[in-house]
Structure 1
Amino acid sequence: MTDLTLYELSGCPYCATVRETLAELDLEYESVSVPRAHDERTEVEAVSGQTGVPVLVDEANGVEGMPESTDIVAYLEETYGDAS
């Protein structure tokens, strides 16, 4: 069981950037695919307050719904990278 959950959409370049960082850091995570239509993304909206993806949840560190790929990548590198 992993503490990391990534809400993502197939073909999303921002999601791909986050997935690449997760792979580089050798982190296990649960992937939750969201619907293409924003008005059907109720689960990700409940988690993060918005319908955009990617969104990261890190239960171990109290991150309940971090949006924005650049913020997620910086967080992952800071929290799980070599410098952590």
Structure 2
Amino acid sequence: MAAITMYELPGCPYCAKVRSKLDELELEYETIEVPRSHGERTEVEEVSGQTGVPVITDEDNGVDGMHESDDIVEYLEETYA
């Protein structure tokens, strides 16, 4: 099982940005597709405290519910590049 989990919504450009970085760095990750309705995004809300995506968790580095695509990309570059 991958240490990194990404919560995403298909068609989300911010999610695509994070996915591209994960792929570029050749990282293994699991994806969880969230519902379109923010009111139904209980799983991602429990993890991150908010309902927006993308959100990642990284068990190996103690990251629980990081959001904001720019912050995630910066984290991935600093940690795995």
Alignment match, 2:37: 37
Alignment match, 2:60: 60
Q: What 5-or-longer segments of structure 1 have no aligned partner?
A: none
Alignment match, 1:24: 24
Give the counterpart letter for 2:4 in structure 1.
L
Cα RMSD (Å):
0.3
Give the counterpart letter for 1:18 in structure 2.
V
Query: Match of 1:64, SS?
Result: strand
How much does 1:65 deviate?
0.4
Q: Distance in 2 between matches of 1:18 and 1:65?
A: 14
Query: Match of 1:53, SS?
Result: coil
- Percent identity (aligned): 70
Per the normalisation by structure 2, the TM-score is 0.99
Q: 1:61-82, CA deviations, whole angstroms, 9 ceiling, x for partnerless residues?
A: 000100000000000000000x
Q: Distance in 2 between matches of 1:27 and 1:36?
A: 26
Alignment match, 1:79: 79
Alignment match, 1:4: 4
Aligned length: 81
How much does 1:31 deviate?
0.2
Runs of 4+ in 1 over 6 A off after TM superposition: none
Per the normalisation by structure 1, the TM-score is 0.96
Q: Distance in 2 between matches of 1:67 and 1:22?
A: 15
